[in-house]
Amino acid sequence: MKFFIDTANIDEIKKAASYGFLDGVTTNPSLMAKEGISDQDGRIKAICALTSGPVSAEVLSTEPETMLAEARHLASLATNVVIKLPLTMTGLKTTKILANEDIHVNVTLVFSALQALLAAKAGAAYISPFVGRLDDTGVDGLGIVEDIQTIYSNYGYETEIIVASIRNPQHVLRAALLGADISTIPFSVINQLASHPMTQQGLATFLADHARAKEIKT
């Protein structure tokens, strides 16, 4: 499974990359706003310089012509930019045009398996089902991912599933058990992935035993 980080924060991306298992980055307008950024070009270029993996940059235009022009502009910023488009009819039409130009699209704000089927038919390279937001409404978000996996496998679609809106390590675990291609994970959750109380306790005991053995020897 590939791990992306879901952030527009440079420091978080650098730290996550230093762990050695970062495969890409996803951003969105809310994450940009959190960093105080209203013009995302500079930040997208800076992120693309930090990783050779795909970096999703979200288009803000909602009308067909402006959406296409903005997408082409974002794609020109760096070779590893992936265009994030919303799952709307305009987004799907634009996805098809961009896919024909070999521009990779990540169709976002996916909340149902049928939406995911449409995105695959449009030629999306990636789709982003929002599992945490679905869970918040009482729907099992990872259940939708399972349905998407079944549909894509039924028809041989190569669209990669980015499990998004991840809130905790359990989401990553379940995504991996389902065989989802990618999890895009907030920095706080990335830091929880390796931690287990028994690992900490075990390490403390090993170090204490070693210190005692040294004392006895001296």
Rounded to a whole number of angstroms, the minimum distance from the CB of residue 167 to ligand G3P is 7
Q: Is 2 in the site for ligand G3P (CB under 6 A)?
A: no
| Piece in contact with ligand G3P (CB under 6 A), picked from 11-19, 64-72, 128-136, 194-202 | 128-136
Q: Is 40 in the site for ligand G3P (CB under 6 A)?
A: no
By beta-carbon proximity to ligand G3P, the closer residue of 132 and 143 is 132
Active site residue 84: yes
Q: Is 165 in the site for ligand G3P (CB under 6 A)?
A: yes
Nearest to 165 by CA among 106, 93, 103, 109: 109
- Whether the CB-CB separation of 8 and 32 falls below 8 Å is answered with yes
Backbone torsion region of residue 15, taken as left when φ is above 0, otherwise alpha when ψ lies between -120 and 50, otherwise beta: alpha
The count of residues interacting with ligand G3P (CB under 6 A) is: 10
- Whether the CB-CB separation of 13 and 31 falls below 8 Å is answered with no
Q: Give CA–CA dist 199/15, Å, rounded.
A: 22
Q: Give CA–CA dist 105/91, Å, rounded.
A: 10
Q: 3-state class of 83 per DSSP? A: strand
Apex CA 196: angle with CA 192 and CA 202, to 5°?
145
| Piece in contact with ligand G3P (CB under 6 A), picked from 14-22, 130-138, 153-161, 198-206 | 130-138
Q: Is 132 in the site for ligand G3P (CB under 6 A)?
A: yes
Q: Is 6 in the site for ligand G3P (CB under 6 A)?
A: yes
Q: 3-state class of 195 per DSSP? A: coil
Q: Looking at 2, 34, 84, 96, which residue is catalytic?
A: 84
Residue from 5, 26, 70, 113 that binds ligand G3P (CB under 6 A)?
26
Residues that bind ligand G3P in the complex, under the rule CB under 6 A = 6, 26, 28, 128, 130, 132-133, 164-165, 184
Active-site residues: which are they?
84
